[in-house]
Amino acid sequence: MSSKHLRTRIRAFSAFLAVGILLGPAVALADPVPESIAVNVDQAKLVRLPSRVSTIVVGNPLIADVTLQPGGLVVVTGKGYGATNFIAMDRAGEVLVDRVIQVEGPTDQLVTIYRGVERESYSCMPICQRRVTLGDGSEYFKAAMDQAGNLSSQASGAAASKQ
């Protein structure tokens, strides 16, 4: 290696060190990236927060729902695809937590059938059965939701009559 080439490399390394020394404290003082919570749509996840949390604010409740339980435990439920955030505060209004919630698609074996622009979803574990998913055609979605509502009403009525 020539002495000229060696001097060039030493200057480049010295400049690199100088930039690192100058930027080092700034990088150390920067706020850390908030921890993200990943949850699947139509599923829930338990997250422990400080026990003094008294108020929760959700950025977009169409994407996720966050319910506060006693002792700082929260239930995060994925409602729609995408990302939002939630902020947890104490009684004095001090922000204790500000986290991103990433809602992802289902993890089961999902089969999607397209009929023109209409879409139907089926969960195939181990056999295929209807699974209402965001984005399904409105007629398919309504029929499945009506059936689920009727089943729930009948089950509630049967339980009430036994009491």
pLDDT in tens, 64-89: 999 999 988 999 999 988 999 999 99
Q: Which helix (H) or strand (E) holds 97?
A: strand 95-104
Give 125's pLDDT tier (boundaries 50, 70, 90).
confident
pLDDT recorded at residue 144: 82
Measure the CA–CA gap between 96 and 31, rounded to whole angstroms: 14
Measure the CA–CA gap between 47 and 74, rounded to whole angstroms: 5
> How many residues are recorded in the chain?
163
pLDDT recorded at residue 160: 72
User: What Å distances lie between residue 120 and 18, 40, 78, 81, 101, CA to CA?
Assistant: 60, 19, 20, 17, 27
Measure the CA–CA gap between 12 and 134, rounded to whole angstroms: 54
Give 2's pLDDT tier (boundaries 50, 70, 90).
low
Between 40-44, 103-107, 118-122, 138-142, the lowest mean confidence (pLDDT) is in 103-107
pLDDT recorded at residue 11: 56
Torsion of CA 101, 102, 105, 108, to 10 degrees: -70
Q: Which residue has the higher pLDDT, 16 or 93?
A: 93
User: What Å distances lie between residue 91 and 52, 54, 68, 95, CA to CA?
Assistant: 8, 6, 14, 10
- CA-nearest of 57, 62, 60, 46 to 86 is 57
User: Mean pLDDT of all residues in the chain?
Assistant: 81
pLDDT recorded at residue 163: 66
Q: What is the pLDDT of residues 7-47, one digit of tens each?
A: 555 555 554 444 444 444 444 444 444 589 999 988 999 99
